[in-house]
Structure 1
């Protein structure tokens, strides 16, 4: 199969974006797909969560051209690879502002990578030059969403951004869907927001729900995905179900 590049995006922090990138990616690899995670967030939370704290080379080296992407990759499991991020991406972002075709750098970097079925990009929690790079390079967008009062406002901003990118920079960009995260069916608000989404959003909403799960919160402390940390947990089962639905 051809490589599918997916931006995992939410312009609000703390929405389960990094958790979804890691665990959906690992679940896809468990299903036999070769997966690359790209840590595009200067905070480097994805890399840290997979016990990559001081990599020799990072994505910043690929942006500056001192290393090719394949030279910075770290294998973290069978069929499971990471392009680590770092705080140096802040400097990369500043330098990109003055570059011509600054939104195409990541697209060019990823064009040199072969053999992966899925590339999942963990985007910064803002509409930055780095996020524009991710959206320009991607075929699809996946949106993790909490069932909170401000959910619709944030979702509308994301969909508007994707629409603008589609019309100006990347006509092939599609919304793969919305995945409901940190879900607690006992909360009335969760069901109310979900019902509102079903009635008012045209984009696909995945049937798989990522339930609130203590083990999901613990896994990064041990530098592992939830599927490696506790395969029997609700979190592991939920992300495996999402991966199956994602590839259906």
Structure 2
């Protein structure tokens, strides 16, 4: 079985990155795919959002060589999770002085077998940990809000991806941009989307993730929106995105 490793990145916080990792993963799982979610963010929002709050071990233990990645997997609603922790801050500091520091995660993931997808929730920065994710991944998924500063941020992300392609991972591909927190009533949202469609070469998924209160509520219950309220617009949007992802 070939595992598709996907880095979900945006260098800004609060952009729907964790929400997209969880709910795209959940939607892919419900389409029959075996999915692993990896929480690479020291803030551990993904782990918290799936009620993995006191794991016996975390990804930091794997980086330190104290555990195998297979020892730290936690199952939630048909998804498998590698929990994060704030100790990843210390891991990042220690990686800076290591030779081939960008390749640690790739070697860790080589031990994982039997998954169709590994979705990596990256930190909200273009950091050493994010470089590890980009070096380990085959594909990049970029959630974007339709705001003016989004355009500047996308340029930064694309420049980083080009550097990684040139230096560490020539096979890395941009799967596409996901429009998140979309409000069709806002003129600015429509204008930014139109600009992206006319000026960005990368694929922009047709399936847009609308503003939806159920998406905001689901993490409080430790579940994906598909398990929390499968009839909500949030669940419908992520199901559509998963289907489009598999077709593209």
Aligned to 1:146: 145
Aligned to 2:9: 9
**Structure 1 residue 77, shift from structure 2 partner:** 1.9
State whether structure 2 residue 74 is matched by structure 1 residue 112.
no
Aligned to 1:229: 228
SS of the residue corresponding to residue 6 of structure 2 reads strand
Aligned to 1:89: 88
**What's the TM-score, normalizing by structure 2?**
0.99
**Structure 1 residue 151, shift from structure 2 partner:** 1.1
State whether structure 2 residue 134 is matched by structure 1 residue 135.
yes
Aligned to 1:213: 212
**Structure 1 residue 193, shift from structure 2 partner:** 0.5
**Structure 1 residue 127, shift from structure 2 partner:** 1.0
In the TM superposition, structure 1's runs of 4+ consecutive aligned residues that sit over 4 Å from their partners are none
Aligned to 2:161: 162
User: How far apart are the structure 2 equivalents of 1:193 and 1:132?
Assistant: 28
**Structure 1 residue 54, shift from structure 2 partner:** 1.1
State whether structure 2 residue 48 is matched by structure 1 residue 45.
no
Per-residue Cα deviation, 1:181-219 (whole angstroms, up to 9, x for no partner):
000111111110010001100000000000000000000
**Structure 1 residue 67, shift from structure 2 partner:** 0.6
Per-residue Cα deviation, 1:125-175 (whole angstroms, up to 9, x for no partner):
001110010000000000000000111100010011101100011000000
Per-residue Cα deviation, 1:49-71 (whole angstroms, up to 9, x for no partner):
00011111000011011110010
Gaps of 5+ in 1: none
SS of the residue corresponding to residue 162 of structure 2 reads helix
Q: What RMSD over aligned residues (CA atoms) do the two structures have, in Å?
A: 0.6
SS of the residue corresponding to residue 80 of structure 2 reads strand
User: How far apart are the structure 2 equivalents of 1:131 and 1:29?
Assistant: 24
Aligned to 2:60: 60
User: How far apart are the structure 1 equivalents of 2:161 and 2:67?
Assistant: 30
**What's the TM-score, normalizing by structure 1?**
0.99
